Chain A
Amino acid sequence: MKAHIKMTGELHAAMLKDLTRRHPFAAERVGFVFGRLGSLADGGRLLLLTRYHSIPDDQYVEDHTVGARIGSDALTWAMQAVYHGRPARESIFHIHLHRHRGETGMSGTDRREIPRLIPGFQSVGREAGHGIIILSLDHGSGWVWVPGAADPADVACISVIGAPIGVFERRRTE
């Protein structure tokens, strides 16, 4: 299945600005970004991102074995947001930044930890697509679990519709 993510330049800039801020103890920041589903040709799915939620500093848990770990308050907030977004079939994506340029992907920790969030989101928001986005300073990669899917689809392209336009295409495979 072909998946494509789009967002405005304004939203992309706001996320980069937030995710590059220093945290009092965590090595990196994470956030949640919401979106809506659109249909593409040949059964493909388009995820259109709408708004970003920055996780407050005090909702991180101190754990130096990982770049950042968020606590139950942040996860509860996310689950509630998915629940309240059910009428509009609102999607949620876990997002964080790898501070380098060029294409990026999931680290071993990312691959082990973040997908564990998805079944919870799916159980609350069954009719929406949920997933993971990892940005670099000038690129990005994504994985999306479409409604009912047990496994993620690689996002082939992330488009930033701003000035300038960004087209982040997936070239490497995980």
Chain B
Amino acid sequence: MSKDRYSRQSFLGANSEELISRCTVGVPGLGGGGSHIIQQLAHIGFQRYVLYDYDVAEESNLNRLVGADLTDALAETPKLHLAKKMIYGLQPNASIRGFACKWQEKPEPLRECQIVIGCMDSYKSREELEIACRRYLMHYIDIGMDVHGKGTPVIGGQIIQSSPGGLCMRCMGFLTNEKLAAEAARYGEAGHRPQVIWPNGVLASTAVGLAVDLVTNWTRCARTHAYLAYDGNEGTVRESLTLRNLAIKTCPHFPGNEVGDPVLVEL
């Protein structure tokens, strides 16, 4: 491989290529968001992946599933296969542990990751993934988009970094009991939310940017958390107003000693 391959990203640091290659990233969900994420990670040089998706490509995915074409929709190609094809095409020596199931059905491989990037559909699934990331010490980066509004459609979304020791999604006001209860009242169904490729691209790119910064520290920001709000109508990504006005400085929801496999405590 030519030494020029990563020359345009040398500003990330002299040893960034090695740092990136050593980091293991988990991506549960390889649909509209996840397919962008793994494509970018592979371009940047990430070599180690833990991937989960039990779904197959369908015609209704083709408006946003990066790497899928008409033949994949006809053949119902597994999204996991599409992700592997994408990664191996760019990184033939990559280590990919892929599972055609929900991450909850096989959680152990995920625990070796340093970063998990979640592209979940529901608040409940986000909450579950964040809990696992805190329990087994992983940075969690969440992305999600929605279209709402009764008149002119409004595209919104978020990119959140929740890291062990830092503020969590509850601290940052993104996860609330009210949101979880409202979703549960709909029997946990997030429904078929509108999804289009360009907001997913913005959200995924921003999430990958946060991940690269966590690995290389090229911005010297040393972020302990982040909550960025996407306004798809204005075309902006800004720090969430909720976060800007937050009084809380330390997370009360995940005590530092609540890690590892749960144990029964005899009273």
A: residues with CB less than 8 A from B are: 4, 6-10, 35-41, 44, 46, 48, 50-51, 87-89, 157, 159, 161-165, 167, 169
5 closest Cβ pairs, A-B complex: A36-B260, A164-B217, A48-B259, A6-B137, A41-B108
- Other than the known A39-B108, A41-B112, A163-B224, what 5 A-B pairs have Cβ atoms closer than 8 Å? A7-B137, A35-B260, A36-B263, A162-B165, A165-B19
Instruction: Let me know if B227 is at the binding interface, CB within 8 A.
Output: no
B225 to chain A, nearest CB (A): 10
> Which residues of B from 122 to 143 have beta carbons under 8 Å from A?
135-139
CA distance A36 to B258 in the complex (A): 9
The answer on a CB contact under 8 Å between A88 and B263 is yes
The answer on a CB contact under 8 Å between B163 and A161 is yes
Decide yes or no: A8 and B260 within 8 Å by CB, A41-B109, A164-B214, A164-B217 being known contacts: no
The answer on a CB contact under 8 Å between B164 and A51 is no
The answer on a CB contact under 8 Å between A87 and B266 is yes
CA distance A35 to B223 in the complex (A): 24
Which of chain B's residues have a CB closer than 8 A to the CB of A50? 256-257, 259
The answer on a CB contact under 8 Å between B259 and A36 is yes
Which of chain A's residues have a CB closer than 8 A to the CB of B259? 35-36, 38, 48, 50
Instruction: Let me know if B221 is at the binding interface, CB within 8 A.
Output: yes
> Which residues of B from 196 to 240 have beta carbons under 8 Å from A?
213-217, 221-224
A115 to chain B, nearest CB (A): 24
Instruction: Let me know if B111 is at the binding interface, CB within 8 A.
Output: yes
Classify chain B: how many residues form its interface, as a range.
35 or more
Cβ proximity bits B8-25 to A, threshold 8 Å, 1 near / 0 not: 000000000001001100
Which of chain B's residues have a CB closer than 8 A to the CB of A6? 136-137
B160 to chain A, nearest CB (A): 15
A–B Cβ pairs within 8 angstroms, 5 of them: A40-B108, A41-B108, A48-B259, A167-B19, A167-B23
The answer on a CB contact under 8 Å between A165 and B257 is no
B256 to chain A, nearest CB (A): 6
Instruction: Let me know if B115 is at the binding interface, CB within 8 A.
Output: yes
The answer on a CB contact under 8 Å between A165 and B114 is yes
The answer on a CB contact under 8 Å between B165 and A167 is no
CA distance A7 to B136 in the complex (A): 9
Which of chain A's residues have a CB closer than 8 A to the CB of B164? 8, 161
CA distance A48 to B256 in the complex (A): 10
Which of chain A's residues have a CB closer than 8 A to the CB of B1? none
The answer on a CB contact under 8 Å between A10 and B260 is no
CA distance A39 to B136 in the complex (A): 10
B18 to chain A, nearest CB (A): 10
Instruction: Let me know if B261 is at the binding interface, CB within 8 A.
Output: yes
CA distance A159 to B25 in the complex (A): 13
Q: Which residue of B lies closest to A163 (CB)?
A: B222
The answer on a CB contact under 8 Å between B217 and A10 is no
Decide yes or no: A165 and B261 within 8 Å by CB, A38-B136, A87-B266, A159-B114 being known contacts: no
B203 to chain A, nearest CB (A): 21
Q: Which residue of A lies closest to B97 (CB)?
A: A41
Q: Which residue of B lies closest to A48 (CB)?
A: B259
CA distance A147 to B151 in the complex (A): 62
CA distance A40 to B106 in the complex (A): 10
The answer on a CB contact under 8 Å between B215 and A40 is no
Instruction: Let me know if B74 is at the binding interface, CB within 8 A.
Output: no
Q: Which residue of A lies closest to B138 (CB)?
A: A161
Instruction: Let me know if B247 is at the binding interface, CB within 8 A.
Output: no
